[in-house]
Amino acid sequence: MADRTRTSVAVAGLGAIGADVVKALDQGIEGLTLVAVSAQNPDKHRGWLAGLKTAPKMVAIEELADVADIVVECAPSKVVRSIVAPVVERGKTAVVLSVGALLQNEDLIDIARRNGGQIIVPTGALIGLDAVTAAAVGSIHSAKLVTRKPIAGLLGAPHLVENRIPIEGITEPLRIFEGTARDAAEGFPANLNVAVALSLAGIGPDRTRVEIWADPTVTRNTHRIEVDSDSARFSMTIENIPSENPKTGRITALSVIACLRKLRASLRIGT
């Protein structure tokens, strides 16, 4: 008989973040059981997966919603819909890291609402989303994100390519974008999930302002948020150490793990 006290979890994508989440689940998270994973290149991962305490099944993306109660998306943004839609259609939970993709698939939120599903966006590489969420219960007048990244973390971004903005070899900080969170997500889909998370927690992607700097003087992905509301005015800065993928900070995987721990924890801290 299945253990009804535990919730089954699957992970889509086994890059730097997904692999860390899988290993944490295998080591044990209260109330959760890892049952399946999905990857673009399954053979690449079979070796280390076999070495886990309990090796999960390797399944196709379209099967994830059938085998798990919670599906954690750690995949490229282009496949977010194919992962999330089946999950929320079945009234289950999707933990979404590629949150920028939600702006191109906003109907996923309505699908979740109609079917009793849920989309969870972890804090990720940002800071202070609890405060932003609380302030949004009242009235937020303005919200701004200023991001500074090493050159390697920005190379190849569509905004740079389309506007022919060269950043290799620069010796001083260069502002390469200023605009809305919606436009930032389109121009930097692998870099600015933090901007979308901030906007969804607060005043939306069209009112949230974003500045992006290519900065050869920094070695960490740095994000500063500035919020003015009727309940508080606050600013916060976080400097994230890049992971194996220079576009992503190490803390992102830890944020997902912390999010999963809160789902069934006996004690939850934070909003």
Q: Which segments in the chain show pLDDT lower than 50? A: 1-2
Which residues of the chain are in CATH 3.30.360.10 domains?
A: 129-248
* pLDDT reported for residue 3: 52
Taking residue 54's Cβ as centre, other Cβ atoms within 10 Å add up to 9
Burial of 123-162, coded b for 16+ CB within 10 Å and e otherwise, reads bbbbbbbebbeebbeeebeebbbbbbbbbbbbeebebbee
**Which residue among the candidates 45, 141, 159, 223 is catalytic per the annotation?**
223
Q: Is 141 labeled as catalytic in the residue annotation?
A: no
pLDDT score recorded for residue 2: 44
* CATH number among 3.30.360.10, 3.40.190.80, 2.60.260.20, 3.20.20.70, domain 129-248: 3.30.360.10
User: In the chain, where does the domain assigned CATH 3.40.50.720 lie?
Assistant: 7-124+251-264
CATH topology of domain 7-124+251-264: Rossmann fold (3.40.50)
Q: Rounded to an integer, what distance in angstroms lies between the CA atom of residue 212 and that of residue 225?
A: 12
pLDDT at position 1: 36
Distance of CA 62 to the CA centre of its chain: 21
